Amino acid sequence: MPEDPQTQPDQAGAPEHSVLPALRMDLDFQPSPAPDQPGLLIRDSFHYSDTTLIIPPFLLRFLPYFDGNHTRGELLQEVEKAANRESAIRLEAHLRETLDNAGFLQGPRFQAMREDALRAFRESSVRPASHAGAAYPGEAPALRAYLTENLSAHRNGHGTGRRTPLAVAAPHISFEGGWQSYAAMLSVLEGADPESLFVVMGTSHYGEPDRIGLTAKPFSTPLGVTHAEPALAAALASACPEAVLREDYCHAIDHSVEFHVMLLQYAVRPDVCVLPLLVGAYFEAMRSGGFPDDSPALREVFRSLRAIADEAQRPLVWLLSVDMAHMGRRYGDPFEAAALTGKMTEVEELDRARVAMLGGGNTREFWKDVNQRDAELKWCGSSTLYTFTQVYPEARASLLSYEQWNIDHQSVVSFGTLAFDR
C-alpha cells in the first residue's frame, strides 16, 4: 500500500508535514539597490553570516511561509499555483536551502554561525575595525587624507579659541552625509589633553533594551590601537550586574562607537585612552510612560558612571554618539521626506526644541517629549543623551551644528553636534 503523499519524503529529503523553520527577524531587509536585480535585499546586521541575498519579486510571496508555523506541504501548494509539481519541489527546496545556508533561518546552521562569531569576539585581543574599507578607507594614509580633506572643507570657524567641553554629542551617520557636524566635533576636541580618558558612549543599534553594553577590549583601526581600561570596565560591570552586559558582542559590529574612536585617534593620538559603552534603548520607560531612572538597576549605572568620573585622576571627556530623527519611507512613514523642506522643516523645529530642553537642564521634559514623540521622530540616541544628563545633571547643552541628509531619495536623517558644559 503506497504511503500518504503528505508524509512521503520528496527528492528534497524532508516530509511535507514538517514545519518550515522561521526566518530570522533580526535581519536587515531593504529594497534591492540594483536596478538590474529588483527584489528584497537581505543581509545579517549581526555579521553572524557574511552572505547578502536578493530575493526576486517572484519569490517574495513565499517568504511569509517561513514563520515557524507553516509546513512544507503548504508552501508547495502555494508554489504549485505557478509551477508544475516537479518544478515546485525544486523551487521550494532551493529557496529553503539558500536561506538556511546563508544562516537566515532559525536552526542548527544559524546557531553554529552565531556561536562561532561570539567565540571569535570573546577570544580576540582587540575589537577590529568592522567598518574599515567600507564606511571609510581601510589604509592609514588614505584614511588620514580622506579625513583631512573633508573635515578641513567644513570647519566653518567651529571651535575657535574654545576650551574642550565636558562632553560632545555628535552623529554616527555615514561620513559623506555629516561632514559639517563631524568637523564641529573635531574642532572642539583637537585641543583635548592627550592623557585624557575618553568615555565614548554610543547608541546601541543591536543590543538588549534597558542595558549598557561594555567591552574591555582596545579598538583597532587603520590609525592604530587604542589604550583600554579593563579595570574600570570590570568595576562598572561588577557594580551594575543587572544592567551592564560584559563583553557585549554588539561592540564587534556596531559603528556607533567605532566612528568616534577612529575620529579621536585622528584628532588626539592613535593610542588614545577609551572606555567604550553602548546604551540600549530604554523601552521599559517608554512603555510605561515613566523615566529610565525609575529602574534601580539603571540608577546604579548612572551613579557608578559619576563615581568613575569623580574619582578619575586625569582629565575626562565624554563623547556621545547620537543621531536625531529618522523620517520617510525607509523608516516606515507614509510619506517621502526631503531634507530641510516640507515635513522636515517641522522636524527641525522639534529637534531644536529638544536640544533647547537639554540646554536649559530640563531633562525630565526632554524624556517626556521622547515618550510622546518617539514613534514620530524616531531619534537614535535619546537614551544615550538621557544617560549622560543623569550622570551630570549640571551639564548644559549648546548646539554647534545641525544638519539633515537624504539617506535615500525618500528618507531623511537629522543630526548635529552639541557641546555640554557644566
pLDDT in tens, 87-112: 888 888 999 999 999 999 999 999 99
Q: How confident is the model at residue 318 (pLDDT cuts 50, 70, 90)?
A: very high
Q: How confident is the model at residue 1 (pLDDT cuts 50, 70, 90)?
A: very low
pLDDT for 38-66, tens place per residue? 999 999 999 999 999 999 998 999 999 99
Q: Which residue has the higher pLDDT, 9 or 155?
A: 155
Mean pLDDT of the chain: 93
Quickly list DSSP for 312-349: -SS-EEEEEE-B--EEEGGGT-SS---TTSTHHHHHHH
Strand partners, 170: 321
* 415 touches 335 (CB < 8 A): no
Determine the 3-state secondary structure of 57 from DSSP. Answer: helix
200 within 8 A of 319, measured Cβ to Cβ: yes
363: Cβ–Cβ under 8 A, 6 or more apart, which residues? Answer: 357, 386, 389, 390, 393
Q: pLDDT (tens digit, 9 = 90+) per residue, 23-40? A: 999 999 988 888 888 999
Rounded to 5 degrees, φ, ψ at 220 are: -110, 125
Per-residue pLDDT, 36: 87
Share of the chain above pLDDT 70, in %: 95
Cβ 401 vs Cβ 337: under 8 Å: no
Under 8 Å between Cβ of 55 and 39? yes
Supply 178's cell numbers: 555629516
The confidence score (pLDDT) of residue 96 equals 94
Q: Over 70: is that where the pLDDT of 144 sits?
A: yes
**Torsions phi, psi for 295 (to 5 deg):** -85, 120
CA distance 310 to 200: 17
Q: Which domains does the chain have, with CATH numbers?
A: 28-116 (no CATH), 130-421 (3.40.830.10)
pLDDT at residue 117 is higher than 70: yes
Answer yes or no: is pLDDT of 8 > 70.
no
Residues near 102 by beta carbon (within 8 Å), at least 6 away in sequence: 42, 44, 49, 51, 53
d(CA 419, CA 422): 10
Rounded average pLDDT over 334-348: 97
pLDDT band at 4 (very low <50, low <70, confident <90, very high): very low
Tell me the CA distances in angstroms from 391 to 247, 277, 290, 293, 313, one per residue in order: 22, 14, 18, 11, 18
| pLDDT for position 159 | 53
Sign of CA dihedral 203, 209, 214, 219: negative
Query: What integer pLDDT is reported at residue 17 of this predicted model?
Result: 84
Asked if residue 305 has pLDDT above 50, the reply is: yes
CA angle in degrees (0–180, nearest 5) for 72-75-76: 85
| pLDDT bracket for residue 13 (50, 70, 90) | low
d(CA 406, CA 341) in angstroms, rounded, equals 11
Give the integer Cα–Cα distance in Å for 216 and 236: 11
162: which DSSP letter? P
341 conformational bin, left if phi > 0, alpha if psi -120 to 50, beta if neither = beta
Dig out the grid coordinates for 247 from the structure.
563583553
Query: What residues have CB less than 8 Å from 34, skipping those under 6 apart?
Result: 54
Mean pLDDT for the stretch of residues 188-206: 94
Per-residue pLDDT of 122-142, as tens digits, reads 999 999 999 999 999 999 999
Q: What pLDDT does 7 receive?
A: 44
The DSSP letter of residue 250 is G
Q: Under the phi-then-psi rule, with left for phi > 0, alpha for psi from -120 to 50, and beta for the rest, what region is 22?
A: beta
